[in-house]
Chain A
């Protein structure tokens, strides 16, 4: 399996040519600060390296955003070089970059490949033109198709496509079309997200003010199931609520670290880190980020040391989101608690109702259980 206990690195590039109405990841449209940002980002990497024990081995680097593909090759090169200088990257380190199909050209893709980037995550979202417009995407379906072809042409053999479903007024036909179109490119990985209305996004405001309407729950379930059937029938593993991979080898190593309590360091505004049982995040402001780092201060917005009960709760709720589930032996070894004894009533109730199963020392949710994952997670918080 393509997962490990080695540490991960994340870089947040907070720029977008244009913000999408549904997205609540931090980014700004003003790109004039890009080069200054890159400078201080390198400072942050250096400062962090001097403060944390970096003897850890790292096997992922994930450049996300925002729109990292807005950066020049040189800028990305600087980032990767600086990272390599301060952290021990494995030879087969998974290096991912998120790209927007509207910002790519084949030359740039070739350069990215030459820099050692070996995984590409393309923000396709939909293959229906109207849906792209609704989502405020800056690209067309043709550009998505070209981007995928270009990636293959350049030699990328680990491609993820992001798709979104349950858009307002989305029809079953359209969703089927998008999925089938995506499958036709044989992507190694698919992230299939149910649209969520996050506070402080234009979508949320429109929803609240009745300008758009949430697709009804039955439809959401239907679309979730369509994706599940279509993709698993095509040989994909549904390994987390919203993630599919063509084989275990193509599981997103980076995401798995989030779900498995593996340490990771995040750089850039709003980036999160989990390190030695502490979590911290950077401030959500490019200018604030820059001014802090110019004073050689780390731009933290908070830091918390997790208490044991919080670690346990997190461990459970993260593990249950994956189809692997809670590894019972590992859990007991780690926390000295027998999971099934501690939650004897809860687990039995779930199993009786076919919402969960125990298989090979794993306690995991069924397909039906996964659909009400959040409700189930509430049963397993530890105080």
Chain B
């Protein structure tokens, strides 16, 4: 196959703007898949993804397209994830392409996520084809969206293409535009081999399957290969192209996209973003400068039932095989026993891991409030980082604490500027600038402490903008902050798992809120339960859960003692699903609900 007939591209779109539907139509048009087989949005194949309507893991698929010219082209559509937690995945997916379709919803306009991904694409020198989707919607504002696009990428109005992916309108035209506008790959089969890993998954039967884009050289089955980052060497067991399933071939060469299976046993040996080369015809450098991804958000994960600790470890190990950005290490909490401190890219990533543990691995878990990594400067000059509030040294030893900040970009209809400014003040945001994308859409930039954003910020933003505002962020620097540790005491006992670090100005508010929320969540017990929030030895908030006053069965059913005993046994079983903190039993839901606590009331 001549390299000139290959087109490698991706689709940049906000969630729900129709990326997956557009992809489906392309697959149908090229007979890659029949519409009968098409489970909606085939590119998202995890249940969780389909439910959330977001693509978490990027995949690729190959199509054969006969152009109007009569020539047969090979299209490799490389899927990109669409959520802020996964922007690094977007980056390497983009790096594997020569072009991108920028898909914008005709009714919604450009969103923050789209914009930041678009900038990444432009940075990567991708040819951009702007597409407005959902043009048949009654609420479509095609002219306004055109203006936004022109404003952002500086194209001409007639370079913007209109489609309705749902109805299949304009798709064929897009296919021709891809052929005409996206440049074919460059690279030579004889050059020292370089393939970019843009994704990898762990398969229990085959080991790691890497998804690759070959830039230079040629890879054959049985070739000895080397991973730049890990320096590990393996042999190519199987190499092939990606249709709906994997199709093995004898070799892949420069310009092609496909998969490669070697003896690698976990995804950490085959890091995404790394370059593969041949042992014999070794390239002198990798394609991309490798960037290690650091987790931003940490939370303790504990089994509800302490007997499940080993099962939890095994399950995390399995998730780790497939998720190079998950980190975890064992930790012990006085309150919760043995568990793991886990690091995540962001809140969504955290939720996904939690849900997968519960759904796929059937473990009931408790997770602690998420926190960021704080940098603690001690009086003696030592500096260290903590990922768990309980590790904060006593105040007397601390000189000052720094916390991570982010650069946040919020794109919103102008109507909500006021609301967003208020939210930003509430969350200790620093306003940077505002830029009008058109007369009604604004691109607002802020700096926020990350800790203020990991906690329901996104939901807040959505609700105060009726769902219109969108958020994207990237890490900024650490900044010094006036932070304190708030402990929660239940019946006078500090519950380590509930300690948080908060800004001093917000400490009272947080203390009150945690106490109030716990009061709601802790079922009444035999005794009154005192709840306190304290900074050091100073109590800043208190409340209590009144004692249970009545719970007695009136009668014992005419000698039917079995029924009463079974009921007691069942209730006892229910109690096992609670965590005993000191003398108080707390349902798992209490911890979960703390996570979803409404922070602005």
Contacts and interface: CB of A to CB of B under 8 A. Distances in A.
Interface of A: 10, 12, 25, 64, 191, 193-196, 217-218, 220-221, 224, 241-242, 258-259, 264, 266, 271-274, 279, 281, 302, 304, 310, 313-314, 317-318, 321, 349-350, 353, 355, 370-378, 381
Interface string B500-541: 000000000000000000000000011100000000000000
Interface stretch (B287-295, B305-313, B375-383, B543-551): B543-551
Nearest to A65: B558
B559 interface: yes
Nearest 3 CB-CB pairs, A to B?
A373-B552, A194-B554, A272-B559
A283 B575 CA distance: 32
B493 to A, nearest CB: 14
Contacts of A281: 560, 562
Contacts of B561: 258, 272, 274, 279, 314, 318
A378 B572 contact: yes
Interface residues of B, number: 26
A258 B557 CA distance: 10
B575 A378 contact: yes
Interface in B552-601: 552-562, 564-565, 568-569, 571-572, 575, 583
Nearest to A257: B559
Nearest to B528: A353
Contact of A372 (B548, B554, B555): B548
B568 A272 contact: no
B530 to A, nearest CB: 13
A26 to B, nearest CB: 10
Contacts of A217: 549-550
Contact of B553 (A12, A196, A218, A353): A196
A375 B551 contact: yes
A376 B552 CA distance: 9
Contact of A272 (B552, B553, B560, B572): B560
Given A196-B554, A377-B568, A378-B568, A221 B549 contact: yes
A313 B570 CA distance: 13
A53 B558 CA distance: 23
A314 B566 CA distance: 10
Nearest to A374: B551
Among A10, A274, A314, A375, max chain B CB count under 10 A is at: A375
Nearest to B583: A349
B552 A313 contact: no
Contacts of B559: 10, 258, 264, 266, 271-274
B580 to A, nearest CB: 12
B526 A355 contact: yes
A375 B568 contact: no
A272 B565 CA distance: 14
Contacts of A64: 558
Nearest to B549: A221
Contact of A321 (B526, B556, B558): B556
A313 B551 contact: no
B549 A371 contact: yes
A279 B562 contact: yes
Nearest to B556: A258
Contact of B568 (A10, A194, A381): A381
Contacts of A350: 526
A339 B558 CA distance: 27
A304 B565 CA distance: 12
B565 A317 contact: yes
Given A375-B526, A377-B568, A370 B552 contact: yes
17 contacts: A193-B555, A194-B554, A195-B554, A217-B549, A241-B554, A242-B554, A258-B561, A259-B556, A274-B559, A318-B556, A349-B583, A372-B548, A373-B552, A375-B526, A378-B571, A378-B572, A381-B568
A372 B550 contact: yes
B568 A317 contact: yes
Contacts of B549: 217-218, 221, 371-372
Nearest to B527: A353
A10 B527 CA distance: 39
A310 B565 contact: yes
B552 A241 contact: yes
A90 B554 CA distance: 30
Nearest to B569: A381
A37 to B, nearest CB: 18
Nearest to B561: A314
A119 to B, nearest CB: 16
A278 to B, nearest CB: 11
Given A64-B558, A272-B561, 16 more contacts: A10-B558, A25-B557, A217-B550, A221-B550, A273-B559, A313-B568, A314-B561, A317-B565, A317-B568, A371-B552, A372-B550, A373-B552, A373-B553, A374-B551, A375-B525, A376-B526
B556 to A, nearest CB: 6
Given A314-B561, A372-B526, A220 B550 contact: yes
A183 B265 CA distance: 81
Contacts of A272: 558-562
A372 B554 CA distance: 11
A266 B560 CA distance: 10
Contacts of A12: 558
Contacts of B554: 193-196, 241-242
A318 B551 CA distance: 15
Contact of A374 (B552, B560, B565, B575): B552
A221 B546 CA distance: 15
A370 to B, nearest CB: 7
A25 B568 contact: no
A355 B568 CA distance: 19
Contacts of A381: 568-569, 572
A351 B568 CA distance: 22
Contact of A304 (B556, B557, B562): B562
Nearest to A383: B572
Nearest to A380: B568
A279 B548 CA distance: 33
Contact of B565 (A313, A371, A375): A313
A64 B569 CA distance: 28
B568 A372 contact: no
A318 to B, nearest CB: 7
Contacts of A242: 554-555
B551 A373 contact: yes
Contacts of A304: 562
Among A12, A217, A218, max chain B CB count under 10 A is at: A217
Contacts of B548: 372, 375
A372 B558 contact: no
B158 to A, nearest CB: 62
Nearest to B571: A378
Nearest to B553: A374
Contacts of A193: 554-555
A355 B555 CA distance: 20
A355 B528 CA distance: 12
Nearest to A224: B550
Contacts of B572: 378, 381
Contact of B564 (A218, A271, A317): A317
Among A64, A220, A321, A372, max chain B CB count under 10 A is at: A372
Contacts of B553: 196, 241, 373-374
B164 to A, nearest CB: 46
A220 B526 CA distance: 17
A291 B465 CA distance: 70
Interface string B64-84: 000000000000000000000
Contacts of A274: 559, 561
A346 to B, nearest CB: 10
Among B527, B559, B571, B572, max chain A CB count under 10 A is at: B559
A10 B559 CA distance: 9
Nearest to B525: A375
A317 B567 CA distance: 12
A371 B550 contact: yes
A266 B554 CA distance: 21
Contacts of B560: 272, 281
A284 to B, nearest CB: 11
